[in-house]
């Protein structure tokens, strides 16, 4: 059995970061909605209660059933989780006079708590809450405070139940990783055995058991995710995997031919399908970003359905869905978190399509996918590629899509990405691309007035795509690329650089 830490999601923006920090400790974890607690078997080593946008004082706030958990398994409440464990079991939680958000300095009240081993007093922590705990139940013991928050941390006597008002999962909390390690390793006794190799072994075994001798049709995108997912499936079921790589007319310049060749080099059974015109026709005159995403996703499904019928006994559709796709599309796991945007590969298949979905990477973050890919010995030319959105250039062309706009953006993108590689900047960037803006601007070219298109260049640094900072590319490099684009791409007379971070912006513009 896979040792697992269960994270109950109350809708916090930071819930996924808890999972990321535990994975960095080589501890497997899963996020589940607070109101859909799975069976607590021997594989569950401990439970973490997340933060939440709700107040425990609200009538409609989450009220989890902890009867099979509290006092029976190690339990850690974070922010809302800490307030719930105090409020529900006899303490007092009130609205803060001022919103407690940002940095605070932690001081110890009880140095003996196993949750705080190797954590230094007077270290920085990160607060983000509107309520504060005024009183804890009688059998609870205070372990740490800050200047403004008396009950910054506590534990329950004669139980392995702990709670902290601050967020250990964010980088602003200096000893946050140590606190989480104290909980999952020292208290929950996790062995830290969840590695890329162990993931591969377990996943391949599970795929063989799940799929058996059935045939799988796999939609390839050319990116890291689908490449790793296909390789895992190929290792599990061999030639029963049939891969389809669709040219939707929204790929990068010359990408269809080069990627198709690289897949064949991996030994995959792959077929290329030219469906450019089908996508252009389906997207004609559509400007709404969400509708474009859904059209592209629907058209992919149509094509895969058509291709699957060439293999009359195919029963599964393989996809390279990863955790951030799921999180942004529907919330972390169907819980109360907000939907950010739709992803073309999330949400299931239409009823008419008689295929089941298999997603080997559904619970992995992007950096974990790369580590698994390297363990599978997939060439670095594939594993090291920047992420590229499933809808492709369709969501980097703001407004309606035409073949001419695609041509223009492909040329711009090619100059930008090639320039990053030539300047040895490509590996310093997590994701880069160009966006064709739905505006024209006045320019002067050859002493003549022009009124042509503007593009925005985007380059970000990130670990997992959940948060991202814009890259400080050298001015000289940006000037050179801007000059090459304006001189080399007919229809462009202005280049801008996007210096927005995520949040509040997203990496893509649509």
One of 3, 100, 155, 169 is an active-site residue; which one?
169
171: left (phi over 0), alpha (psi -120 to 50) or beta: alpha
Secondary structure of residue 486 in the 3-state scheme: helix
Asked whether the bond before 328 is cis by omega within 30 degrees of 0, the reply is: no
Q: Active-site residue 24, yes or no?
A: no
Q: How far is CA 311 from CA 231, 243, 275, 295, in A?
A: 20, 11, 19, 25
Asked whether the bond before 118 is cis by omega within 30 degrees of 0, the reply is: no
Backbone angles phi, psi at 449, to 5 degrees: -75, 135
Backbone angles phi, psi at 255, to 5 degrees: -75, -35
Whole-number Å distance between alpha carbons of 397 and 408: 10
Whole-number Å distance between alpha carbons of 251 and 391: 9
Whole-number Å distance between alpha carbons of 246 and 176: 44
Secondary structure of residue 262 in the 3-state scheme: helix
Q: CA triplet 36, 66, 52: central angle to 5 degrees?
A: 65
Q: How far is CA 407 from CA 164, 401, 403, 420, in A?
A: 54, 11, 6, 20
Q: Residue 309 CA to chain centroid, in angstroms?
A: 32
One of 129, 167, 343, 414 is an active-site residue; which one?
167
Q: Active-site residue 484, yes or no?
A: no
411: left (phi over 0), alpha (psi -120 to 50) or beta: alpha
Burial group, residue 487, by CB count within 10 angstroms (0-12, 13-18, 19+): exposed
DSSP string of 384-443? TSPP--TTGGGGTB-S---HHHHHHHHHHHHHHHHHHHHTT-GGG-SEEEEEEEEEEEEE
Is the CB of residue 269 less than 8 Å from the CB of residue 241?
A: yes
Q: CA triplet 96, 175, 129: central angle to 5 degrees?
A: 15
Nearest CA to 124 out of 111, 110, 107 is that of 107
Q: Active-site residue 188, yes or no?
A: no
- The alpha helices in 158-288, defined as continuous H runs, are 176-181, 196-211, 224-237, 255-265, 276-283
Secondary structure of residue 17 in the 3-state scheme: helix
One of 79, 144, 188, 190 is an active-site residue; which one?
79
Q: Which residues are catalytic?
A: 79, 167, 169
């Amino acid at each position: 059995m896979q040792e697992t830490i269960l994270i109950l999601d109350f809708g916090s923006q930071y819930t996924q970061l808890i999972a990321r920090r535990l994975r960095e400790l080589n501890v497997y974890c899963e996020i589940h909605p607070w109101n859909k607690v799975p069976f607590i078997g021997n594989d569950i080593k401990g439970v973490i209660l997340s933060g939440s946008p709700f107040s425990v004082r609200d009538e409609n706030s989450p009220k989890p059933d902890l009867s099979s958990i509290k006092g029976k398994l190690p339990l850690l409440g974070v922010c809302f989780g800490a307030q719930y464990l105090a409020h529900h079991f006899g303490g007092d939680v009130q609205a803060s006079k001022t919103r407690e958000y940002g940095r605070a300095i932690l001081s110890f009240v009880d140095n003996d708590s196993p949750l705080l081993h190797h954590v230094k007093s007077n270290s920085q922590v990160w607060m983000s809450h509107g309520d504060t705990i005024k009183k804890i139940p009688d059998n609870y013991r205070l372990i740490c405070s800050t200047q403004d928050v008396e009950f910054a941390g506590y534990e329950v006597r004669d139980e392995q139940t702990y709670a902290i008002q601050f967020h250990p999962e964010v980088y602003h909390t200096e000893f946050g990783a140590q606190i989480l390690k104290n909980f999952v390793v020292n208290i929950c006794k996790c062995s830290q055995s969840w590695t890329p190799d162990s993931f591969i072994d377990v996943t391949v075994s599970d795929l063989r058991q799940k799929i058996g001798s059935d045939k799988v049709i796999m939609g390839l995108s050319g990116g890291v995710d689908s490449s790793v997912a296909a390789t895992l499936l190929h290792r599990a079921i061999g030639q029963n995997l049939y891969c389809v790589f669709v040219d939707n007319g929204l790929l990068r310049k010359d990408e269809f031919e080069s990627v198709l060749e690289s897949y064949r080099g991996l030994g995959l059974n792959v077929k290329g399908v030219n469906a450019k015109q089908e996508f252009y026709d389906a997207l004609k005159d559509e400007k709404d970003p969400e509708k474009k995403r859904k059209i592209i996703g629907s058209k992919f499904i149509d094509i895969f359905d058509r291709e699957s019928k060439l293999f009359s006994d195919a029963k599964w559709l393989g996809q390279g869905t990863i955790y951030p796709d799921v999180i942004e599309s529907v919330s972390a796991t169907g819980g109360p978190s907000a939907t950010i945007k739709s992803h073309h590969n999330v949400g299931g298949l239409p009823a008419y399509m008689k295929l089941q979905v298999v997603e080997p990477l559904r619970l992995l973050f992007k950096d974990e996918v790369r580590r698994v890919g390297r363990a599978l010995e997939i060439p670095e030319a594939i594993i090291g590629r920047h992420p590229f959105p499933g809808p492709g250039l369709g969501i980097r062309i703001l407004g309606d899509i035409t073949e001419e706009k695609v041509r223009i953006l492909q040329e711009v993108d090619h100059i930008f990405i090639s320039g990053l590689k030539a300047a040895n900047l490509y590996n310093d960037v997590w994701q880069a691309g160009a966006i064709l803006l739905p505006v024209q601007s006045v320019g002067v070219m050859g002493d003549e007035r022009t009124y042509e298109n503007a593009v925005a260049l985007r380059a970000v640094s990130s670990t997992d795509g959940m948060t991202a900072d814009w890259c400080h590319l050298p001015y000289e490099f940006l000037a050179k690329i801007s000059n090459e684009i304006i001189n080399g791409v007919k229809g462009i007379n202005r280049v801008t650089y996007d210096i927005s971070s995520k949040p509040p912006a997203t990496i893509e513009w649509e």
